[in-house]
Chain A
Amino acid sequence: MAIIILNKINRTRQYFLSFLFVCIIGGICFILSDFIGYRVVAFILLVTVSLIAMFFDILPVLFAALLSALIWDFFFIPPRYTFLVGSAEDTLMLLMYFIIAMLNAVLTNKIRRMEKIARQKEEKANTIKLYNVLFNSLSHELKTPIATIIGATDNLLTDSNKISEDNKYKLISEISIASVRLNEQVENLLNMSRLESGYIRPKLDWCDVNELVYSVVNRLENELKKHSLKVEINENLPLFKLDFGLMEQVLHNLIINAVNYTEPGATITISADCIRNLKGHFEVTANEIKSKRDATINTLILKISDNGIGIPEDEIEHVFDKFYRLKNSKTGGTGLGLSIVKGFVEAHNGTIILSNIEGGGILFTIKIPSETSSLNKQKNE
């Protein structure tokens, strides 16, 4: 880890630190030069350069090697305080010192580069693994309905006479179900790529939350046939500034999710409320408050819960991950629905959390800070 962190220290600073280290060690040796021989000093300096080589780029290390060689020559090799070298033995020693220091720098650098390549390879392998998971789940999700459609239409086209009217109707129904499913998956994929590309900019406009919730619920009538639905919306809820289309998708995905992960007969509850924020308590859009003084920023709380079997605690943190599917989940679904929900809620500066309910079932809590307007209440009075 230290290597990675120090790698980020910039070049100029590396030169400066190399210079500092060599000088400090040189200085300490100089003070102690009465007690230790100048040849030992060579080794101490060599160790210093090696240490520097472990952390810094090649050029600052070469600089440190050269600098330490000069320091050793000037301050320690007799005659001291000159660059002259007294004996042939010391000349050889200085030459070897220089070569070893340089080799040190080059070799360490090589090792580091190989480490980096190995790391990149590993990262690549991980990405490929993730993509394999994604493609497996995607191709399954897309190809199953396509297979149904092709199979059913082949049947209808080639063996038309042999199939009873009743079975014909069944085959056509299968085609219809498959294409709706295919459409849902493609919709999810398109939404996901919109999110990934950063293309999502919520178009905030005044929304009647009651209208929003029922618009989604009414459209999901078929899907909700086998479940009972409770809608609990605070009657005095003000209007909020939201992107109607994105919030519809959020509710749609959460309701579909509840339908898919509970048994028929389970109850799904949607509730909406408003928390009034204290003034100055809200920081994200502080500038907006200033520009629109008559507007109040409050928090919309949307809760979607079911009374199913709940979710293993250790999987809660993963459910919003892209392509994540619960370990015990049946086939169907790409693991995109909830990550889209999270993306759309966050596009509103909001948060979403998932928790288990005591006694069974799960609860999604969405909090979205928004301007509110109480025009509806005034009108009603």
Chain B
Amino acid sequence: MNKAEILVIDDEVQMRRLLEITLQSNDFIVNEAATAKEGLIAAASHPPDLIILDLGLPDENGHSVLKKLREWFINPVIILSVQNSEEDIVNALDNGANDYLIKPFRTGELLARIRTALRNTTDKEGNSVLNFNDLEIDLTSRTVKKNNEILKFTSTEYALLSLFAQHEGKVLTHQYLLKQVWGPSYLNESQYLRVYIAQLRKKIEDNPNKPLHLITESGVGYRFVGKE
């Protein structure tokens, strides 16, 4: 496989150096930009496989950079920011960011998120059978197996799980989940989501209190983790 190219848009030179070392030593090709303007030009002249975007850029708000990128850029964008408010995170995800990491971050975590995001773009047209360690989801026959045993789900539970499975590794916001599974009139009915998440965990997790698949993203949403 060719080395994936990553564009880092961050105004802090130290952060760029850290990312350069981390990414290069993990076999990525790294390009850098220090301002929003430079970043947009770099992305347009030579589209990367993935962009790491800081929200606090000197010349333009990161949210608006993200919006501009999303007008044409289809590859993953991961936000790396010190802004840790739920509003910022939800906003960025709604504007098309694939993931959001808060600084300070663990490099291991960043690499895992990058790999997940890249994997999702490569096997988009793939199987209808999705495999996640102990879980197997067949989207055609609508069956779910855990350790080769078939699990029973209600239709809502299945709708929720298959939505997660198709966006493996990506944070799905409360609003997005409610809209997709229950419909636009349920946007404020988050109690349904809480209840169904608890039920799904009871069925698919070994220990529902220590979930490995359905991860809570505080105040933002949930992330389905398939493979370690």
State the A residues within 8 Å of B (CB).
179, 183, 203, 205-208, 210-211, 214-215, 218, 231, 239, 243-245, 248, 373, 375-376, 379-380
Q: Is B108 interfacial (CB-CB < 8 Å)?
A: no
With A203-B86, A210-B209, A379-B199 known as contacts, the answer to whether A245 contacts B218 (CB < 8 A) is yes
> Does the CB pair A376–B219 fall under 8 Å?
no
Query: Among the interface residues B104, B192, B195, B197, which one has the most CB atoms of the partner chain A within 10 A?
Result: B195
Q: Report, nearest first, the 4 A-B pairs whose CB atoms are least far apart.
A: A206-B191, A245-B219, A214-B209, A208-B194
Bound CA–CA A183/B219 (angstroms): 21
> Which listed residue, A206, A248, A373, touches B218 by the CB 8 Å rule?
A248
Taking the nearest CB of chain A, how far is it from the CB of B96, in angstroms? 23
Distance in Å: Cβ of A221 to nearest Cβ of chain B: 9
| A-B CB pair tally, cutoff 8 Å | 50
Known contacts A179-B104, A183-B104; is-contact A379 B195 (Cβ 8 Å): yes
CB A219 to nearest CB in B, in angstroms, measures 10
Considering only CB atoms, which chain A residue lies closest to B199 in the complex?
A: A379
B198 CB to nearest A CB, Å = 6
Rounded to whole Å, the gap between the CB of B64 and the closest CB of chain A is: 24
Q: For the complex, what is the distance from the CA of A239 to the CA of B86, rounded to whole Å?
A: 21
> B195, A375: Cβ atoms under 8 Å?
yes
- Do residues A210 and B198 form an inter-chain contact, with CB atoms below 8 A? yes
21 A–B contacts, CB within 8 A, in A order: A183-B104, A203-B86, A205-B190, A206-B190, A206-B191, A206-B193, A208-B195, A208-B197, A210-B209, A211-B198, A211-B216, A214-B209, A214-B210, A215-B218, A218-B210, A243-B219, A245-B218, A245-B219, A375-B191, A379-B199, A380-B199
Contact status of A244 and B199, CB under 8 A, knowing A205-B190, A239-B194: no
By a CB distance below 8 angstroms, the chain A residues around B216 are 211, 215
Given A183-B104, A214-B210, A248-B218, verify A208-B198 contact (CB < 8 Å): yes
What chain A residues lie within 8 Å of B193 (beta carbons)?
206
Nearest residue (CB) in A for B193 is A206
Contact of A244 among B191, B197, B209, B218 (CB under 8 A): B218
Q: Chain B contacts of A244 at CB under 8 A?
A: 218-219
Q: Are B198 and A376 in contact (CB under 8 A)?
A: yes
- Among B86, B174, B191, B192, which residue has the most Cβ atoms of chain A within 10 A? B191
What residues of B have a CB within 8 angstroms of the CB of A205 in the complex?
A: 174, 190, 219
Give the distance in Å from the alpha carbon of A243 to the alpha carbon of B87 in the complex: 13
A203 to B174, CA, bound (A): 14
Tell me the bound Cα distance from A183 to B106 in angstroms. Answer: 13
**Bound complex: CA of A167 vs CA of B164, how far in Å?**
45
A215-B218, A244-B219, A248-B218 known; A207-B104 Cβ under 8 A: no
Closest chain A CB from B79 CB (angstroms): 18
Residues of A within 8 A of B195 (CB): 208, 239, 375-376, 379
- Taking the closest CB of chain B, its distance from the CB of A325, in whole angstroms, is 26
Inside 8 A of B191's CB, which chain A residues have their CB?
Answer: 206, 239, 373, 375-376
Residue of A nearest to B198 (CB): A208
Residues from chain B with Cβ under 8 Å of A243 in the complex: 219
- Contacts A211-B194, A211-B198, A376-B195 given; 17 further ones with Cβ under 8 A? A179-B104, A205-B219, A206-B190, A206-B191, A207-B194, A208-B195, A208-B198, A210-B209, A214-B209, A218-B210, A231-B209, A239-B191, A245-B219, A248-B218, A376-B191, A376-B194, A376-B198
Q: Closest CB-CB distance, A216 to chain B, in whole Å?
A: 9
Residues of chain A lying within 8 A (CB to CB) of residue B199: 379-380
Q: Which residue of A lies closest to B210 (CB)?
A: A218
* Nearest Cβ on chain B to A186's Cβ, whole angstroms: 9
* Distance A373 CA – B194 CA, assembled complex (angstroms): 11
Query: A215 CB to closest chain B CB, in angstroms?
Result: 5
CB distance from A66 to the nearest CB of B (A): 64
Give B55-68 as 1s and 0s: 1 = Cβ < 8 Å from A's Cβ atoms.
00000000000000
Q: Complex: how many Å from CA A210 to CA B209?
A: 8
A208 to B104, CA, bound (A): 28
